[in-house]
Amino acid sequence: MSYGVRLMVWGDYALFTRPELKVERVSYDCITPSAARGILEAIFWHPGLKWKIDCIQICNPIRFGNIRRNEVATKIDAEEIGKAMTDGKSIALVIAGNIRQQRASMILKDVRYVIDAHFEMTDNASPSDNPGKFAEMFKRRARKGQCFHHPYLGCREFPCQFKLLGKEEMVPSYYAGKEQDFGLMLYDMNYQDKENITPIFFRAKMKDGILDLRDCEVYQ
């Protein structure tokens, strides 16, 4: 048995990076299913359930903007951090001034989406767990604005706000009555082979402002 939820999310900026572009970050035209799932998991995650995205409604006009940021080329190695924590003498650091680099990003501006999703129980659920219990826990947390970590729109520097919607609560879409093909979009990552994690794509076709993911064909 599965239980459905509707969540409206919005923010000033978003960046859902296209994986085929390495140096300069370029966003997809809208939120990806994996990013939508990440928002739900930020509000309520449990090993006994697995979120499935049913459809995504694009509410606001798709608008792009460009930003340029200072970043560092490398990060501290985890082994160096572990060594510093163990012996108390080693130093684990990076000098930002020596490895700073500028990178441009094409981001989305003023985004708003409605995420329709459901969850399914997994084998990791305990005997005391049940769908009704999990559904009420998610709804209670979403109504109060509670989350395990603040959800974000693709990148952590772009936080999002969220609001739980009722099943019949309507949200207008700028793209009502319109259709658009966004081409191949990232659907999720395949983690079955831990040594060879591969991306999964789908053909993103918007109709009446909605991306329907319930019967979409995926490609690896």
Q: Where along the chain do its domains lie?
A: 2-69+104-219
Residue type, 150: H
Beta strand 210-212 with 218-219: parallel, antiparallel or unpaired? unpaired
Q: Which residues are CB-contacts of 220 (< 8 A; sequence separation ≥ 6)? A: 190, 198, 199, 200, 201
Pick the CATH number of 2-69+104-219 from 3.30.70.2660, 3.30.9.10, 3.40.30.10, 3.90.1210.10: 3.30.70.2660
The CA distance from 187 to 216, in Å, is: 10
Give tens-digit pLDDT for 1-31: 446 899 999 999 999 999 887 778 899 999 9
- Report whether 42 contacts 153 (CB < 8 A): no
Beta strand 2-14 with 218-219: parallel, antiparallel or unpaired? unpaired
- Report whether 7 contacts 40 (CB < 8 A): yes
The CA distance from 131 to 155, in Å, is: 30
The CA distance from 164 to 120, in Å, is: 19
The CA distance from 46 to 23, in Å, is: 35
Q: How many residues can be counted in the chain?
A: 220
Q: Would you state the structure tokens that stand for residue 168, as one six-digit string?
A: 């019949």
Q: Is the pLDDT of residue 169 over 70?
A: yes
% of the chain exceeding 90 in pLDDT: 62
Mean pLDDT of the chain: 89
* Kind plus residue range of the DSSP H or E element containing 35: helix 33-43
Helix axes 33-43, 131-144, angle to 10 degrees: 90
The CA distance from 67 to 98, in Å, is: 22
pTM of the entire predicted model = 0.86
Q: Would you state the structure tokens that stand for residue 8, as one six-digit string?
A: 């409206």
Which of 109-113, 119-123, 166-170 comes out lowest in average pLDDT? 166-170
Q: What 3-state DSSP class applies to 204?
A: strand
Q: What 3-state DSSP class applies to 84?
A: helix
- Report whether 17 contacts 154 (CB < 8 A): yes
Q: Would you state the structure tokens that stand for residue 42, as one six-digit string?
A: 């930020």
The CA distance from 98 to 65, in Å, is: 29
Give tens-digit pLDDT for 137-148: 999 999 999 999
